[in-house]
């Protein structure tokens, strides 16, 4: 079989080693066709491009070269759309975050992803967290997430704030913190969008909380990492609504900063995908290679490999696979989802940032700042 030539047996890609004969035949045909195509073109976020380059896929499928182009999500979307306007269809697979692939979905540039699932273990939704594939597009057919981790929203200076004083995010509105909070600017995207969507769409917080936070608390905003984190470490601010990666890096350097445990806040724990999504471009130049890459990445073996390689190439550490049959022993404890916790997802209905941005601007106008 073609898959054996590639060094990958069907049995090692399926739960319990069993695979239906028809799926096996389809897989065999697809692998052979992919080998004839000879390559797969993947556009990926900068931080995970190296993960794909160094994944075991290339060793398993030596006849299918993985070509990875890495950049920020918005940059890759602009590049793809420019290529398509020039009638150049160069991309097979994209892994470009949570919001960026939405632009491709809205432009009708994607193919539905579930129809290309060939391996029974990839199709079987019972093997995935919460018993289903986690799709983030409006139709829940085009963009799939494959990792998730809890969201850490609040950092503190150990000399200026005590995490035991915070049982609710409403505690951030205590007058004692007015003028003593820094926050990454929503207008700069990234982490700030994840943070403020959590606040806005959380039924125990909502627009009222967000309006007071940004309208009353005299928050100082910054637009480049790690400026706010540096301010926090220097004691210029007691609290910071900033990304966990920068805080962990500062903490590792012995600076007096740490993250508040999100499980201590009564409004629940946000869940983010760490921007690990997968989508298929339509009019792809190597459609069979794209199918093989997609099925392998979403298989148990592919997800185990992605976790392992991420630990080497992703500065924030690996996030856990959304497959429940993938062990999380090599995932930092802070990045694991815990059984029985109250989680609030960032997807799919909650990805709309437009009303959040509007409220943010209104709150700044109320505060007399921009």
* End-to-end Cα distance, the chain: 63
The three-class DSSP label of residue 9 is coil
pLDDT score of 20: 64
pLDDT score of 228: 94
- What are the contacts of 169-174 at 24+ separation with CB within 8 A? 169/199, 169/205, 169/209, 169/265, 169/267, 170/205, 170/209, 172/213, 172/217, 172/239, 173/209, 173/212, 173/213, 173/216, 173/217
The per-residue pLDDT string of the chain (370 residues; one tens digit each, 9 = 90 and over) reads 333 333 344 444 443 344 567 788 999 999 999 999 999 999 999 888 999 999 999 999 999 999 999 998 989 999 999 999 999 999 999 999 887 898 999 999 999 999 999 999 999 999 999 899 999 888 999 999 999 889 999 999 999 999 999 999 999 999 999 999 999 999 987 788 889 999 999 999 999 999 999 999 999 999 998 999 999 999 999 999 998 888 988 999 999 999 999 999 999 999 887 778 999 999 999 999 999 999 999 999 999 999 999 888 876 667 899 999 999 988 888 888 888 888 887 766 666 788 999 999 999 998 887 6
**Cα separation, 221 vs 285, whole angstroms:** 44
**Cα separation, 122 vs 92, whole angstroms:** 19
The one-character DSSP state at 138 is: T
pLDDT score of 350: 64
- Half-sphere exposure at residue 151, Cβ-oriented, CA atoms within 13 angstroms: 28
Residue written as tokens 């724990």? Answer: 269
pLDDT score of 24: 87
Q: Is the link from the previous residue into 226 a cis peptide, with omega within 30 of 0?
A: yes
Contact assessment for residue 328 and residue 313, using Cβ atoms and an 8 Å cutoff? no
Q: Is the link from the previous residue into 348 a cis peptide, with omega within 30 of 0?
A: yes
What does the block give as tokens for 263? 């499980």
**Which residues are registered as beta bridge partners of 144?**
135, 278
What are the structural domains, with CATH classification, of the chain? Answer: 2-147+274-337 (3.40.190.10), 153-259+349-367 (3.40.190.10)
**Cα separation, 9 vs 11, whole angstroms:** 5
Contact assessment for residue 267 and residue 204, using Cβ atoms and an 8 Å cutoff? yes
- Residue 179 Cα distances to 4, 125, 172, 232, 318, angstroms: 63, 48, 11, 13, 35
């Amino acid at each position: 079989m073609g898959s054996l030539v590639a060094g990958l047996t069907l049995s090692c890609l399926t739960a319990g080693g069993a695979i239906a004969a028809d799926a096996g035949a389809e897989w065999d045909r697809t692998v052979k066709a992919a080998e004839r195509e000879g390559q797969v073109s993947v556009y990926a976020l900068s931080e995970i491009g190296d993960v794909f380059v160094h994944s075991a896929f290339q060793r398993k499928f030596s006849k299918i070269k993985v070509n990875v182009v890495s950049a920020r999500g918005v940059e890759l979307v602009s590049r793809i759309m420019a290529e398509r306007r020039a009638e150049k269809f160069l991309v097979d697979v994209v892994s470009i975050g949570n919001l960026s692939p939405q632009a491709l979905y809205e432009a009708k540039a994607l193919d539905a992803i579930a129809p290309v699932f060939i391996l029974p273990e990839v199709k079987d939704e019972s093997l995935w967290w919460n018993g289903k594939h986690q799709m983030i597009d409006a139709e829940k057919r085009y963009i799939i997430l494959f990792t998730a981790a809890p969201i850490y929203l609040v950092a503190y200076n150990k000399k200026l704030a005590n995490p035991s004083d915070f049982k609710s995010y409403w505690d951030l509105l205590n007058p004692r913190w007015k003028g003593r909070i820094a926050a990454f600017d929503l207008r700069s995207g990234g982490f700030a969008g994840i943070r403020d969507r959590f606040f806005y769409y959380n039924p125990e917080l909502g627009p009222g909380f967000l309006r007071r936070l940004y309208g009353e608390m005299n928050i100082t905003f910054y637009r480049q990492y790690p400026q706010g984190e540096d301010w926090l470490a220097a004691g210029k601010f007691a609290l910071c609504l900033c990304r966990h990666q920068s805080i962990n890096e500062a903490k590792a350097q012995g600076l007096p900063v740490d993250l508040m445990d999100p499980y201590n806040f009564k409004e629940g724990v946000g869940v983010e995908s760490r921007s690990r999504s997968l989508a298929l471009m339509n009019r792809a130049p190597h459609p069979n290679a794209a199918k093989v890459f997609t099925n392998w990445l979403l298989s148990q073996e592919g997800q185990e490999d992605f976790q392992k390689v991420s630990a080497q190439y992703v500065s924030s550490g690996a996030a856990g696979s959304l497959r429940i049959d993938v062990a999380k022993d090599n995932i930092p404890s802070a990045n694991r989802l815990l059984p029985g916790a109250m989680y609030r997802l960032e997807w799919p209905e909650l990805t709309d940032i437009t009303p959040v941005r509007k409220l943010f601007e209104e709150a700044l106008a109320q505060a007399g700042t921009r």
